[in-house]
Chains A and B, each alone.
Chain A
Amino acid sequence: MAHSEYPGSEHDHHIIPKKTLFSVFGALVMLTILTVAVAQVDLGSAINIVLALAVASAKASLVVTFFMALKYDKKVNTMVFSIGTLFVGIFLVFTLFDTAFRGDLGNVGIETISAEKRTEKKLKARDPGAAGLAIAPGDSARLTDQLAADTTAAADSAAAAPDSAAAASGGDHGGGGSDHGGGG
């Protein structure tokens, strides 16, 4: 009586025939032997990995479909399983988006990428060109002077930086004050 109140229910569960179970087991054993045999042959790392994963996936599908009886089960369980495995895929792929594109982590500078780019630009601006690199014996003194001038300029700009920052913030405060004045 209760069964008729529950739509879509069948009284008997599907009994998987013994023959099916043994055939699936036979197939699983054959696939295991296949994957071991294929692994003994060196087809290149990538091909070996793809083949081994393909065989493992085939075995897992057989287990899920017949031993775990998803084939005969309510579709909602297949959905639960499929969505779960989908998220495993997302987990793996999105992690690889990070880890596979990090470059050489053993060879990184202490500066940020934008700071490195600025330095590179500065160095390029200082490039004297082929004509400038042609040195005559008498150029030595002139080059020494130029180098000294460059160093002084760099030190000056470094020393000037904190000053200009302070000036800017001072200006901000002044602006705020005058705003208040206008309001009053």
Chain B
Amino acid sequence: MATTATQTAEKAQAAEEHEHHPSHLEHHFVSSEQQFDSAKMGMWLFLITEILLFSGMFVAYTVYRAWHPEVFATASATLNWKLGGINTLVLLASSLTVALSIHYAQKENRKMLVTNLLVTLALAGVFLVIKYFEYTAKFEHGVFPGEAFAPHGHHYEHMAGMPYAAQFFSIYFVMTGIHGVHVVIGMIVIGWMATRAMRGHFSAEWYTPVELTGLYWHLVDIIWIFLFPLLYLI
């Protein structure tokens, strides 16, 4: 009898505790706010490691360019700045829609949250399709990274045998390629967020995963903001 009484008391206590803890709140956090802020700071720390990952490539770019400015100018001129520019606008628009999705998550508008996430996903897809056409146009003319570099055809043949021209395309393909991998990962995560949003996993009280996905996506946008002028324009 005594055991049953204790168990009942424990259950009551547990139920009471549960009342003060929303289902999303882990017990080691004081409040939803603290949990949200911790998650966000963790995301910012991760984004810094991402920035440092790309900074290694930006440094390689800078050193290469400082050493071989003429080769850089010649090789860079073969990139299609119009496609690069369109892709910049596409990514900027996707940044807007992902910011809007958070706006609607905070207002608990599930339909608009899902719509904006799906539009972001579609814009990311457009970016990759344009990138695919850019890459294939280069591959068709033997413009590959590294040892395979063997340019031919009207627009590219002047680079055949030009010292250090191959290195430009190694830098170009590695930088845009790793950025592209980030776009693909972003698409997977955004798609996942969209399905979770459809199933009503998020509320104005708790939308942390959408917020963090948004931060990641904006970073992918920022990297491209720098890649576009540095590779295509100047």
Contacts and interface: CB of A to CB of B under 8 A. Distances in A.
Interface of A: 1-3, 5-6, 9-11, 13, 15-16, 18, 21-22, 24-25, 28-29, 32, 35-36, 39, 45, 48-49, 52-53, 55-56, 59-60, 63-64, 66-68, 73-74, 76-77, 80-81, 83-85, 87-88, 91-92, 95-96, 99-100
Given A49-B234, A53-B230, A74-B40, 4 more contacts: A9-B34, A21-B100, A74-B41, A77-B44
A1 B47 CA distance: 33
Contact of A2 (B20, B99, B100): B20
B122 interface: no
B45 A52 contact: no
Interface string B92-113: 1101101110010011000000
A56 B225 contact: yes
**Nearest 5 pairs of A and B residues by beta carbon:** A84-B48, A39-B233, A9-B33, A52-B229, A25-B96
20 contacts: A2-B21, A13-B106, A15-B107, A29-B89, A36-B233, A39-B81, A39-B229, A48-B234, A56-B226, A60-B222, A67-B95, A67-B98, A67-B214, A67-B218, A76-B41, A77-B44, A80-B41, A84-B51, A87-B52, A91-B52
Nearest to A92: B59
B225 A60 contact: yes
A55 B226 CA distance: 9
Contacts, number: 140
A91 B41 contact: no
B191 interface: no
Interface residues of B, number: 54
Contacts of B58: 88, 92
B80 interface: no
A74 B221 contact: no
A113 B56 CA distance: 31
Interface in B65-111: 66-67, 69, 73, 81, 85, 88-89, 92-93, 95-96, 98-100, 103, 106-107
A44 to B, nearest CB: 11
A9 to B, nearest CB: 4
A90 to B, nearest CB: 10
A53 B229 contact: yes
A184 to B, nearest CB: 63
Contacts of B13: none
A22 to B, nearest CB: 7
